[in-house]
């Protein structure tokens, strides 16, 4: 079948670690045709379906010039076998608009994964609020006085913007409260923006674990992203070291409780972030870590994903 991937520019892919590339490679090996476009190429006009200027590509096997364009055309999204939304965060206004265009394509018969409405309904920082039994002490507010109250209670805290990605904008404030006021001003912009504040979890030194859940079922290995040097963030984008490891009992309990709930809402692929025993984020836009887990454990995450996609299309 034809699979349409809505992605960032292919020229920016780091194929040795990119999960979308791993999906494409597995799909191509099964004989599926690969089509690609960016969100900016989606369009709708009255009297016509949602359409995109797409490229059909083949994979070359070369590490640098890794794809070749076979053809270009305008494609009505409902004519694709499946549309796979893999645009990386941030979830900004343009991402939001793209989900609405993809939602219209669904009404016209397109099969879109992850479901556009579910992408909108599960912002990656705030989605954890639905599952308080699994999370650490957490505050969401614009109010600096509430942040100070939370700090006085917990003494060692993490502050982060709701629209960050890859560890961007994350701050730690210890018991001395050093620079708390300045950090709050930076993040909440004088009360104009909401921030998330969480109790600092010392288990971060063992890693911020990415637990992948596909069609409601957890991948049996997580990728622990371990901070390096003086860094408090484990994100791979800021130099964290990725170490694959079997799921702990707590990891599995969180995944098996949350996974089926989210799968029923149209989230075929979810990335849960777990520090110690606490859920910290639910990633739905473009979860990654496929290749690191596969390379270190031999478990083929891309195969599990394409298996699930094919089942969903039957």
E strands of 64-161, at which residues?
67-76, 82-85, 112-113, 138-141, 157-161
Catalytic residue, from 25, 55, 87, 225: name it.
Answer: 225
Catalytic residue, from 106, 251, 281, 292: name it.
Answer: 281
Sequence-separated (6 or more) residues with CB below 8 Å from residue 3: 27, 32, 33, 34, 35, 80, 81, 82, 84
To the query of whether residue 87 is one of the catalytic residues in this protein, the response is: no
Catalytic residue, from 233, 235, 251, 292: name it.
Answer: 233
Catalytic residue, from 25, 86, 87, 125: name it.
Answer: 125
To the query of whether residue 281 is one of the catalytic residues in this protein, the response is: yes
Token couple for 105: 């394509």
CA 219 remoteness from chain centre: 15
To the query of whether residue 249 is one of the catalytic residues in this protein, the response is: no
Catalytic residue, from 160, 208, 209, 292: name it.
Answer: 160
Would you say 161 and 168 are in contact if contact means Cβ atoms under 8 Å apart? yes
For residue 19, CA distances in Å to 15, 25, 86, 179 come to 8, 10, 9, 38
* Cα 256 from Cα 139, distance rounded (Å): 25
To the query of whether residue 86 is one of the catalytic residues in this protein, the response is: no
Catalytic residue, from 26, 251, 273, 292: name it.
Answer: 273
Catalytic residue, from 87, 210, 251, 292: name it.
Answer: 210
To the query of whether residue 235 is one of the catalytic residues in this protein, the response is: no
To the query of whether residue 210 is one of the catalytic residues in this protein, the response is: yes
Would you say 150 and 158 are in contact if contact means Cβ atoms under 8 Å apart? no
Token couple for 118: 């579910």
Catalytic (active-site) positions? 125, 160, 210, 225, 233, 273, 281, 283
């Amino acid at each position: 079948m034809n699979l349409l991937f809505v992605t960032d520019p292919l020229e920016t892919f780091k194929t040795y670690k990119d999960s979308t590339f791993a999906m494409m490679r597995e799909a191509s090996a099964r004989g599926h045709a690969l089509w690609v476009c960016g969100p900016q190429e989606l369009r709708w006009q009255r009297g016509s379906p949602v359409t995109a200027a797409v490229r059909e590509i083949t994979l070359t096997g070369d590490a640098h010039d890794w794809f070749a364009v076979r053809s270009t055309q305008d494609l009505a999204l409902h004519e694709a076998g499946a549309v796979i939304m893999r645009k990386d965060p941030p979830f900004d206004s343009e991402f939001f608009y793209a989900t609405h265009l993809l939602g219209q394509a669904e009404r016209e018969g397109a099969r879109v994964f992850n479901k556009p409405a579910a992408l909108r309904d599960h912002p990656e920082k705030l989605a954890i609020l639905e599952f308080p039994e699994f999370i650490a002490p957490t505050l969401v507010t614009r109010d600096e006085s509430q942040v100070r109250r939370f700090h006085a209670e917990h003494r060692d805290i993490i502050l982060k913007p709701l629209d960050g990605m890859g560890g961007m904008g994350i701050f730690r404030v210890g018991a001395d409260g050093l620079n708390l006021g300045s950090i709050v001003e930076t993040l909440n912009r004088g009360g104009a923006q909401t921030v998330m504040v969480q109790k600092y979890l010392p288990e971060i030194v063992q890693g911020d674990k990415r637990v992948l859940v596909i069609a409601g079922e957890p991948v049996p290995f997580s990728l622990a992203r371990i901070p390096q040097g003086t860094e408090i963030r484990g994100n791979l984008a800021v130099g964290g070291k990725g170490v694959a490891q079997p799921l702990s009992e707590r990891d599995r309990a969180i995944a098996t409780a949350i996974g089926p709930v989210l799968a029923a809402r149209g989230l075929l692929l979810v990335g849960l972030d777990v520090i110690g025993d606490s859920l910290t984020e639910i990633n739905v836009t473009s979860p990654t870590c496929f290749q690191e887990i596969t390379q270190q454990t031999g478990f083929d995450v891309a195969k599990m994903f394409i298996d699930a996609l094919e089942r969903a299309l039957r």
